[in-house]
Amino acid sequence: MDDRLRSLAMDAFLQLGLPTHLTLALLIAHVERTRGRRIVIVETAKLTGKKICGLWIPRENVDVVYHSVTRGPLHRQQMILHEISHMILRHDEVDGATWQGIKVFQQLSGEVVAKALARGDFRSDLEATAEHLADLLASALRTSSKEILSYEDYFE
């Protein structure tokens, strides 16, 4: 990852102005306020985690984050943070992004999702920037005294 992408992720992180005591729920609420849209998180077995483990679908009035089934809370958190990072970075508004209408899940009753990000290339600049921002957010959660997923506590 080049310095330009790291800088984009860091700038987005700093602009969030997150509180010192942070939880995943507080982060989601903060992003909802910032975007003016509700965020719904859905775990689904329809994502196997082999090619796609998370998918953000911006709908008309709500951002839906789908993630694959996982037994590990840290893995679940990272998948959610990655998709939320796309929201924070406003990748739904980026010119030239690889967005396409796709049918994803049966529960959408055959609706075509207007702006679902096609995850064909995990090495794209958008994906790399979102993953770096997700790492920054995960670090903020780990160092927060309120976050129960502070895994460093298990190794003391």
- Summarised one tens digit per residue, pLDDT across range 18-71 is 988 899 999 999 999 999 999 999 998 888 767 778 889 888 889 999 999 988
Task: Report the domain count for the chain.
Answer: 1
Give the pLDDT band of residue 123 (cuts 50, 70, 90).
Answer: low
pTM: 0.78
Which one-letter amino acid corresponds to residue 132? H
What's the rounded Cα separation, in Å, for the pair 140 and 134?
10
Q: Which residue has the higher pLDDT, 3 or 101?
A: 3
Tens of pLDDT along 1-27? 799 999 999 999 999 999 888 999 999
Tens of pLDDT along 76-97? 999 999 999 999 999 887 765 5
Q: Is the pLDDT of residue 105 over 80?
A: no
Q: Which domain holds residue 68?
A: 3-155
Q: Which residue has the higher pLDDT, 93 or 106?
A: 93
How long is the chain? Answer: 156
Consecutive H or E run containing 42: strand 38-44
DSSP string, 60-110: SSEEEEEEE--S-HHHHHHHHHHHHHHHHTTGGG-TT--EEEE---GGGTT
Give the pLDDT band of residue 146 (cuts 50, 70, 90).
Answer: low
